[in-house]
Amino acid sequence: MARKSLIQREKKRQKLEQKYHLIRRSSKEEIRKVKKEEIRKVSTLSNKWEIYGLSHKWEIYGKLQSLPRNSAPTRLRRRCFSTGRPRANYRDFGLSGHILREMVHACLLPGATRSSW
């Protein structure tokens, strides 16, 4: 069983990620738009090029960096539903490997069978 404080910390991260998800996504979309429109030709007569939007891009990056670090989706970790174990999790079931094995052996998961060869 995982420590309760670690499980609570993970729940806090999930709430933060949900809260700032739209802000983070819109900022990243703005950065992509600025990158596409970044370099333009100054005039058709000369071969000079000018970079537009660099300061705007830095403002967006600053906005992204001002968000809490724990709101980033990469900070989230999948945990076992029953024990809270952070490793060897199966996404389909939401359980860790040894709990999944025990449940299959006890015939608690419908449709899951033990392998035999």
Q: What is the pLDDT of residues 6-65, one digit of tens each?
A: 889 999 999 999 999 999 999 999 888 877 666 554 555 555 555 556 777 888 899 999
Residues 61 and 82 in one domain: no
- Which uninterrupted H or E stretch holds 96? strand 95-96
* Residue 116 domain flag: no
Cα–Cα distance, 2 to 81 (Å, whole number): 11
Residues 71 and 83 in one domain: no
> Helix or strand or coil: residue 89?
strand
**What domain range is 14 assigned to?**
2-75
Residues 59 and 92 in one domain: no
* Residue 52 domain flag: yes
Please identify which residue in the block is written with the tokens 């199966």. Answer: 90
Residues 68 and 17 in one domain: yes
* Residue 117 domain flag: no
Cα–Cα distance, 90 to 35 (Å, whole number): 38
How many domains does the chain fold into?
A: 2
Residues 68 and 83 in one domain: no
Segment 60-79 shows an average pLDDT of 91
